[in-house]
Amino acid sequence: MTAAPDEAVDVVTIALGVDYGQAYLVDHSGEPVMPDALSDDEQTPSLGVISVADGVALLTIATHYGEVRFDVQVTPVEPEPDLAGYEDIVEVGFESETGRVSLHEWGDEEVHTLPPLPAGPGWYRLRYHVHGLDEGRTDYYEDEAPDRYLLQIWPEEEREARVVKSTSRRHRSWTGAD
């Protein structure tokens, strides 16, 4: 079931501080094990921009250092993907033990609390939208980063990860589409 076009959906906009091109979606279930520290058989396939393991999603950010716009949409039903606004879109399953998640900057510099997950503890779908993966590739601080992100979260039983859209050069090379 997808959200009706006229159904109001709140979007949380975060000015996300980025170090090392990473951010994390973390379940509030305790001390997280970060996906980049796990072996390949302990995490979902990365799909180029997101990996999930044990209540943590590693989100790849194009800007290496700086601040980027990061929107998060938590909904009770599947929203439509923003196919026109983003170049790369992927989906993965995510299990929340608590029904509460936050967005963490690298090194926990800042933790951004997100709305409670609508179905409480259980399985959710993460749809990660990326725009500017090629243009945002910088190794210095940028006030006006060219990349931006949208993470949609809704309740859904576990199913296989998938690429919805892949058009940037970097994403296509990471997923073997080139």
* Ranges 9-18, 31-40, 72-81, most confident: 72-81
Query: What string of DSSP letters covers 63-88?
Result: BSSEEEEEEEEE-SSBPPP-TTT-SE
The secondary element (H helix, E strand) that includes residue 131 is: strand 122-131
Question: What pLDDT, on the 0 to 100 scale, is given for residue 41?
Answer: 47
Interval 96-127: pLDDT, tens: 999 999 999 987 679 999 999 999 999 999 99
Of all residues in the chain, what percent carry a pLDDT higher than 70?
79
Instruction: State the average pLDDT over residues 136-165.
Output: 84
Question: What pLDDT, on the 0 to 100 scale, is given for residue 54?
Answer: 84
Question: Which of the pair, 172 or 90, is modelled with greater confidence?
Answer: 90
User: Which domains occur in the chain, in start order?
Assistant: 11-175 (2.60.34.30)
User: CB-based contacts of 95: which residues, under 8 Å, 6+ apart?
Assistant: 27, 55, 122, 123, 124, 158
User: CB-based contacts of 145: which residues, under 8 Å, 6+ apart?
Assistant: 18, 62, 63, 66, 67, 68, 69, 132, 136, 138
Question: Which of the pair, 155 or 45, is modelled with greater confidence?
Answer: 155
pTM assigned to the model: 0.86
What are the beta bridge partners of residue 151?
Answer: 72, 128
Please check the confidence at residue 42 and state whether its pLDDT lies above 50. no
